[in-house]
Amino acid sequence: MRNLKSLLMVAMALILVSCSMSAKPEKNETEKAAASGEVVVLNKADFLTKVYNYEKNQTQWVYEGNKPAIIDFYADWCGPCKRVSPILKELAAQYKDDIIIYKINVDNEKELAAAFGIQSIPTLLFIPKNGKPQLAQGALSKEQFVEQIDNFLLKK
């Protein structure tokens, strides 16, 4: 009976370890996606570690990233958001070495949307490596994005 109990405990421990290891995303998945020119979808946990930990720094903006970024606050049902999406994909590929483009679904991440006072979508947050971010509301054209990227984010 004692051996059966021990065997059962070992089996349970192995199952738990294997389940927890398989549930973890690949290390640096976000960085790999960004480096290959993809738009990266963020959840709250990723946002806090990769962009801004507003729980830790409540009074001062401290950017956690190593490249300038654009964050698209969007919803799947939003028409203007759907028009902006392919533009962001193109820009993510075009500027893959210079910036990171993130997306946050406001329906899934209500707390993040509330933290930034998102009232309309799409709302875009342009984050320079140093300095304060800027918000833009509405669907921007590719030319407007390029202007913001070159002048505000990259200061060309």
Look up the CATH number of the domain holding residue 145. Answer: 3.40.30.10
The predicted-structure confidence for 25-48, as pLDDT tens digits, reads as follows 444 565 666 666 899 999 999 999
Please state, in angstroms and rounded to a whole number, the distance separating the CA atoms of residues 122 and 81. 5
Q: Which of 42, 71, 81, 125 is catalytic?
A: 81
In a domain, 23, yes or no: no
Number of domains in the chain: 1
Q: Which of 39, 40, 78, 100 is catalytic?
A: 78
Label residue 19 by pLDDT band (50, 70, 90): very low
In a domain, 108, yes or no: yes
How, if at all, do strands 100-105 and 69-74 pair?
A: parallel
In a domain, 3, yes or no: no
The predicted-structure confidence for 70-123, as pLDDT tens digits, reads as follows 999 999 999 999 999 999 999 999 999 999 999 999 999 999 999 889 999 999
In a domain, 136, yes or no: yes
* pTM for this prediction: 0.78
The predicted-structure confidence for 52-67, as pLDDT tens digits, reads as follows 998 888 888 899 999 9
Q: Between the CA of residue 36 and those of 19, 89, 127, 154, what are the distances in Å?
A: 29, 11, 20, 19
In a domain, 123, yes or no: yes
Our answer to whether residue 19 is catalytic in this structure is no
Our answer to whether residue 78 is catalytic in this structure is yes
Residue 33, pLDDT score:
63
In terms of residue numbers, what domain contains 111? 40-153
